[in-house]
Amino acid sequence: MVAKPVPRKVLLAITSYSEKFYDDGAKTGLFWSEAAHPLRFFEEVGFEVDIVSETGKFGVDEHSISDQFLSTEELEQYKDKNSPINQKFKQIKRASDVNADDYGIFFAAGGHGTVFDFPKATSLLELASQIYANGGIVAAVCHGPVIFENLKDKETGEFLGKGKTLTGFTNLGEEQMGVQHILNRDNLKTCEQIFNEIGATYSPPPAPFDVYSVIDGRVVTGPNPASAYDTANSALKVFNSLEA
């Protein structure tokens, strides 16, 4: 039997969570560049991209839309409600309304909002699991990999990340951002904790905010905002190998 071609389409998964989180009262949510950069990358190389969250809604991490993380051009695009990228985000879909068979890549963007909803986002989890079962790729960057806490491999029934080498935002990075005490207070798990619990091998970047990504079969992970492009590019390399 000839294998069915993997669709050249990306499901860009983002968090639905958007509430006060930081000590300064700022909200968390989607870390903007971790969706914006992969979106731009995949569209430039000819993929269709759908933005999807568990509820069909989202909010932006208020710390992520500063000149610390975005270029002047990116800030202008973010602030322009009619910019192409904002028009794209207005078309966000609810996870229960899309079909896994339409996608070849599941790409989970980060932001601390994900630690609240990704591990229990049943529709997103089902989509990621089915895309992988169909021969597609599961990729995640920064805090996006917390989705592996409850993500299962349909073929084995085991955790999809079990026995795999993964990366994600570091515990040291949580300390440097001054949020580890908030995670502890709310009983929220870090990427490192989750990887240990599911039997994955953690591969940290050389430093918390260095560009880095890890490929293990059809699973691709990155550890921080600076790695969003690199993680998307690594996912593309794996996708191209499927077509070879």
User: In a 3-state reduction of DSSP, which class is residue 141?
Assistant: strand
Q: Can you spell out the DSSP letters for 180-195?
A: HHHHHHTTPPPHHHHH
pLDDT of 1 higher than 50: no
pLDDT given at position 4: 73
Query: Which tens digit of pLDDT belongs to each residue from 145-196?
Result: 999 999 999 999 999 999 999 999 999 999 999 999 999 999 999 999 999 9
List residues with catalytic annotation.
142-143, 174
> Which residue type sits at 191?
C
CB 228 within 8 Å of CB 194: no
How far is CA 133 from each of CA 154, 155, 160, 180, 189, rounded to the nearest angstrom?
A: 6, 7, 10, 35, 26
pLDDT given at position 15: 98
pLDDT given at position 243: 76
| Domains, the chain, ordered by start | 9-243 (3.40.50.880)
Q: Can you read off the two tokens belonging to residue 107?
A: 């790409």
Query: Which tens digit of pLDDT belongs to each residue from 212-231?
Result: 999 999 999 999 999 999 99
pLDDT given at position 100: 98
pLDDT given at position 3: 61
Q: How far apart are CA 150 and CA 136, in angstroms?
A: 18
Percent share of the chain, pLDDT over 70: 99
CB 201 within 8 Å of CB 185: no
Q: Tell me the backbone φ, ψ of residue 17, rounded to 5 degrees.
A: -80, 135
Letter string b/e over residues 101-118, b meaning 16 or more CB atoms within 10 A of that residue's CB: eebbbbbbbbbbbbbbbb
